[in-house]
DNA sequence: TGATGCTGCGTTTTT
DNA sequence: CGCAGCATCA
């Protein structure tokens, strides 16, 4: 994944924005810090930060708002512990969620205390540390220390096998759904026997828990774990082996946790067990940035910290060093609408800067055009594109921007797309390597046994499975034995023999040659690279390139097993030459990043807040969406620009949309409502600059929109779903050529007479045309100018 | 065994 | 609308 971005308040000296003065550094305090301790690394910390660094004994919760220097606190705290000799590097447990965060922390600690971090073996992600502990004690939980870590793909394939073995219709009860349930159980620290009866019953007529059990058993036979197990098995280990637990409790004199608001129950339990030893647990987080509730994060963990860890000290970091005044005030005012929060008041000493802008566009295309234009202007003024980001709620929004940027010839990069390791060719190659390192890795074997095609089909594989089951042997072994018998037809038999011999040969070469060389040989001799070379599809070349990249990335490791361990936990490869390009990503992937200019399109009801969140999570969902909006705003250093469109194409059809309620929740004093320059002429009267809010929100269109929104919101009605999106009362909003500004075309709720074929109509976006097909409320229209389009009948008028 | 057609679905994503 | 995943057919 490309990762040219800076986080938090990392080095600011290379900031590119020529118009911005350097951000203020907290001054004065440094002197005090020096006087107190004489430690250079404490210089420049503000009093709260200093307190967070120096409060070493007992549980500490650092509530660190966006841009308040939390990473700095965390790294300085480590440096402080080391510098004051309170612990050796190997006695500090420091956990993060992502590899990116772990890497950053490692780098920054290293920069502060020199190379001592080489010796910080317990700095890493929850999963990598869980894996490390588990490998040391694997036998105690029924594994061997070289267990394989399955990813989601393997997990699903395994569950499919289990479902079919249990004779359950994969159609009615999809494996991915079961995988999701098992994940959520594991997230909550639930072993199969602890799963609440109701939940277990909700899958396959009550067989959910049984399937979970079967899955766990199968994992043990395969000597494999999934991601959830890395923690769950730790919990099981600590539960049944108090000695082992005590050993780690004694070891970890200091524990640090980043992004505590994202921890799930299993992680919480894990931390709590380990912290019971020394009780020196420091959790850093921000409840206002909790945006992963849907994947098991428990905001409660942070909300209840003081209760769970008695005597905990809570320190608030509220001085923001990132954003200008208007941006910070806007974000704070918005998030203040949430009820479930600990409450912080962010402040800054930075200048007010530009107001946050809110721009209404006619439709999502105009929105993209407008943003494209503004970016070009910024570029002309000398701003770096890499300091500009477009943050969207859902990835389908990205497409319009990509289209636009391609026509403008504006370099952009999409962050967080399909990831390197998820590509089929990478997973195939890894499966080959896994088969070499772990001959018993059945999942890997199955993946590549007939790839490239070797004439080994369903029936051959079935024979292998039968033998394997009967002799309790891995598939590889079954293949070796059976290829020496008359059991199989000559052709598959020959292929299998060749394959097993090849694997034995490669395994033999493992010691003799560098693993990168072996990797190349394997991909070559197996016919795998040939397979892609012979394929003349458009992306074959890219896949071959990816394979080379994979081999190249192996150079950083000592051997094949080491590489595989890394890849199963990290699975991302540094790439992206870091050229100057606009960053396009989702709000979720923007967490932890910052940019000079942030564009936030799509602030519409149903999209942000997302309808689905509202339907499924009610008020909690709304609050999480609001936090998402807050995260978006707080990514901006100097310019935050919000947009909403009145029409958006969703699933190929144009829907009328209403501005997000979050726009109503912004403080007038810090926001400026502007008008899109595009040609569709939002009537100026509605977007008066002088009195933006009164005039904007006073129009009939707005009021109806709001009325309808309230109606929908009050009930959290599921039935409305995306239909709430298609606002039939928005007709006064249209502003295409030939309409009268601001004129409201009244409409009753009575169904209108159906359109008939051949009828002439007018559409606010596409102009005049003729109906060629009617399908309920959907019309196919041959437009005079725009060609054939499918539209909704409420957007067209008879002429 | 491979290609083609149909159905269903459509938010966010790490490890 | 566009795609992914599956089923069916040649």
User: From the C1' of C3, which residue's alpha carbon is nearest?
Assistant: A651
What percent of chain A has pLDDT above 70? Answer: 82
Distance CA A263, CA A627 (A): 16
Which residue is catalytic, options A161, A261, A289, A359? A289
The two three-digit tokens of residue A124, written as one number: 């890493």
Q: Taking a C-beta distance cutoff of 8 angstroms, is the pair A434, A564 a contact?
A: yes
The two three-digit tokens of residue A185, written as one number: 């159980």
pLDDT at A760: 86
Q: Taking a C-beta distance cutoff of 8 angstroms, is the pair A524, A452 a contact?
A: no
How crowded is residue A744: how many other Cβ atoms within 10 Å of its Cβ? 14
Q: Taking a C-beta distance cutoff of 8 angstroms, is the pair A389, A597 a contact?
A: yes
pLDDT at A376: 96
Could you report the per-residue pLDDT of A295-330, keeping only the tens digit for each?
899 988 998 899 999 899 999 999 999 999 999 999
CA of A534, C1' of B2: distance in angstroms = 16
As to burial, measured by CB atoms within 10 angstroms (0-12 exposed, 13-18 middle, 19+ buried), residue A724 is buried
Across chain A, what does the average pLDDT equal?
A: 82
Cβ neighbors of A172 (< 8 A, separation 6 or more) are A204
Any strand B atom closer than 7 Å to A569 CB:
yes
Helix, strand or coil for residue A787? strand
The two three-digit tokens of residue A611, written as one number: 């309808």
Could you report the per-residue pLDDT of A262-285, keeping only the tens digit for each?
999 999 999 999 999 899 999 999
DSSP-derived secondary structure letter, A456: -
CA of A160, C1' of B7: distance in angstroms = 20
CA of A171, C1' of C6: distance in angstroms = 10
Which residue is catalytic, options A259, A286, A594, A793? A259
What percent of chain A has pLDDT above 90? Answer: 53
CA of A505, C1' of B14: distance in angstroms = 36
Could you report the per-residue pLDDT of A548-605, keeping only the tens digit for each?
988 988 888 889 988 988 888 876 665 555 689 999 999 999 999 999 999 999 999 9
In the beta sheet, which residues pair with residue A149?
A225
CA of A157, C1' of B14: distance in angstroms = 20
Which candidate, A149, A201, A211, places its Cα nearest to that of A175? A211
Q: Taking a C-beta distance cutoff of 8 angstroms, is the pair A533, A455 a contact?
A: no
3-state secondary structure A50-112: HHHHHCCCCCEEEEECCCCCHHHHHHHHHHHHHHCCCCCHHHEEEEECCHHHHHHHHHHHHHH
Distance CA A649, CA A398 (A): 12
Q: Is A259 one of the catalytic residues?
A: yes
Nearest nucleotide to A650 (CA to C1') is C1
Asked if pLDDT for residue A734 goes beyond 60, the answer is no
Nearest nucleotide to A394 (CA to C1') is B11
Asked if pLDDT for residue A487 goes beyond 90, the answer is no
pLDDT band at A781 (very low <50, low <70, confident <90, very high): confident
pLDDT band at A74 (very low <50, low <70, confident <90, very high): very high
User: From the C1' of B8, which residue's alpha carbon is nearest?
Assistant: A171
- Which of the pair, A748 or A230, is modelled with greater confidence? A230
How many CA atoms, within 13 angstroms, populate the side-chain half-sphere of residue A559?
Answer: 9
Any strand C atom closer than 7 Å to A171 CB:
yes
* Helical ranges in A595-690 per DSSP H: 611-634, 661-664
Residues 638-657 of A with CB under 7 A from strand C: 651-652
Which candidate, A79, A89, A91, A22, places its Cα nearest to that of A50? A79
In the beta sheet, which residues pair with residue A639?
A597
3-state secondary structure A193-237: HHCCHHHHHCCCCCCHHHHHHHHHHHHHHCCEECHHHHHHHHHHH
Helix axes A265-275, A242-251, angle to 10 degrees: 80
Any strand C atom closer than 7 Å to A170 CB:
yes
Dihedral pair phi/psi, residue A78, rounded to 5°: -60, -45
Q: Is A370 one of the catalytic residues?
A: no
Nearest nucleotide to A169 (CA to C1') is C6
pLDDT at A573: 60
CA of A371, C1' of B8: distance in angstroms = 34
Q: Taking a C-beta distance cutoff of 8 angstroms, is the pair A581, A10 a contact?
A: no
Q: Rounded to whole angstroms, what are the CA distances from A121 to A91, A94, A248, A502, A742?
A: 9, 9, 13, 37, 66
Any strand C atom closer than 7 Å to A790 CB:
yes
Whole-number CA gyration radius for chain A: 29
């Amino acid at each position: 994944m490309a990762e040219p971005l800076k986080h938090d308040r990392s080095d600011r000296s290379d900031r590119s924005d020529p118009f911005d003065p350097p951000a203020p550094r907290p001054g004065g305090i440094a002197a005090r810090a020096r006087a107190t301790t004489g430690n250079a690394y404490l210089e420049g910390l503000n009093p709260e930060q200093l307190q967070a660094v120096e409060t070493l004994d007992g549980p500490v919760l650092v509530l660190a708002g966006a841009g308040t220097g939390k990473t700095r606190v965390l790294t300085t705290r480590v440096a402080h512990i080391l510098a004051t000799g309170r612990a050796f590097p190997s006695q500090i447990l420091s956990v993060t969620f992502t590899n990116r965060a772990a890497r950053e922390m490692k780098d920054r600690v290293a920069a502060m205390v020199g190379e001592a971090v080489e010796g910080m073996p317990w700095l890493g992600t929850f999963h990598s540390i869980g894996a490390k502990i588990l490998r040391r004690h694997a036998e105690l939980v029924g594994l061997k220390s070289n267990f394989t870590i399955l990813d989601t793909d393997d997990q699903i394939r395994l569950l499919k096998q289990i479902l079919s073995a249990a004779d359950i219709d994969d159609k009615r009860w999809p494996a991915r759904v079961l995988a999701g349930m098992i994940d959520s159980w594991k997230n909550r620290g639930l072993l199969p026997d602890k799963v609440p009866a109701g939940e277990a019953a909700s899958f396959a007529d009550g067989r959910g828990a049984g399937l979970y059990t079967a899955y766990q058993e199968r994992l043990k036979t395969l000597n494999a774990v999934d991601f959830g197990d890395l923690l769950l098995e730790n919990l099981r280990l600590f539960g049944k082996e108090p000695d082992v637990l005590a050993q780690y409790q004694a070891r970890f004199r200091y524990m640090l946790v980043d992004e505590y608001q994202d921890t799930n129950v299993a992680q919480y339990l894990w931390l709590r067990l380990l912290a019971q030893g020394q009780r020196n647990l420091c959790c850093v987080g921000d409840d206002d940035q909790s945006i992963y509730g849907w994947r098991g994060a428990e905001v409660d963990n942070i909300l209840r910290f003081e209760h769970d860890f008695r005597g905990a000290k809570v320190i608030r970091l509220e001085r923001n060093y990132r954003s200008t005044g208007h941006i910070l005030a806007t974000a704070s005012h918005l998030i203040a609408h949430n009820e479930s929060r600990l409450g912080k008041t962010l402040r800054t000493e930075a200048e007010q800067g530009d107001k946050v802008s809110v721009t209404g566009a006619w439709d999502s295309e105009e929105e993209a055009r407008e943003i494209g234009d503004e970016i070009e202007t910024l570029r002309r003024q000398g701003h770096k594109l890499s300091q500009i980001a477009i943050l969207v709620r859902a990835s389908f929004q990205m497409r319009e921007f990509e289209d636009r940027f391609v026509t403008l010839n504006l370099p952009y990069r999409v962050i967080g797309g399909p990831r390197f390791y998820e590509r089929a060719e990478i997973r195939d190659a890894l499966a080959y390597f896994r088969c070499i390192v772990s001959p018993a890795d059945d999942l890997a074997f199955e993946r590549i046994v007939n790839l490239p095609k070797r004439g080994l089909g369903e029936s051959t594989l079935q024979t292998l499975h039968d033998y394997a089951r009967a002799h309790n042997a891995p598939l590889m072994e079954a293949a070796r034995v059976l290829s020496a018998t008359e059991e199989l037809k000559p052709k598959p038999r020959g292929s299998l023999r060749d394959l097993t011999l090849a694997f034995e040969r490669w395994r033999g070469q493992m010691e003799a040659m560098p693993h990168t060389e072996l990797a190349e040989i394997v991909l070559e001799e197996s016919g795998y690279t040939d397979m892609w070379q012979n394929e003349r599809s458009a992306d074959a070349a890219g896949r071959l390139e990816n394979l080379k990249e994979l081999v190249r990335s192996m150079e950083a490791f000592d051997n094949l097993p080491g590489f595989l361990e890394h890849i199963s936990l990290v699975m991302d490869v540094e790439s992206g030459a870091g050229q100057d390009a606009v960053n396009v990503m989702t709000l979720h992937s923007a967490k932890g990043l910052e940019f000079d200019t942030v564009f936030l399109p799509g602030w519409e009801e149903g999209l942000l807040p997302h309808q689905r969140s509202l339907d499924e999570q009610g008020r909690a969902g709304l609050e999480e969406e609001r936090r998402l909006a807050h995260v978006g705003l707080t990514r901006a250093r100097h310019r935050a620009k919000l947009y909403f469109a009145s029409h958006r194409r969703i699933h190929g059809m144009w829907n009328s949309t209403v501005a997000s309620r979050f726009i109503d929740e912004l403080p007038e004093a810090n926001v400026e409502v502007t008008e899109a320059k595009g040609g569709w002429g939002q009537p100026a009267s509605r977007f008066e600059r002088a009195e933006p809010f009164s005039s904007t929100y006073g129009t009939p269109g707005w009021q109806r929109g709001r009325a309808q929104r309230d109606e929908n919101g009050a009930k959290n009605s599921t039935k409305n779903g995306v239909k709430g999106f298609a606002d039939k009362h928005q007709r006064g909003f249209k502003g295409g050529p030939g309409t009268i500004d601001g004129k409201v075309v009244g409409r009753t709720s009575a169904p209108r007479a159906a359109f008939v074929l051949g009828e002439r109509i007018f559409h606010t976006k596409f102009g005049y045309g003729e109906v060629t097909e009617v399908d309920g409320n959907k019309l196919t229209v041959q437009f005079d100018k725009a060609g054939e389009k499918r539209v909704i009948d409420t957007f067209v008028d008879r002429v």
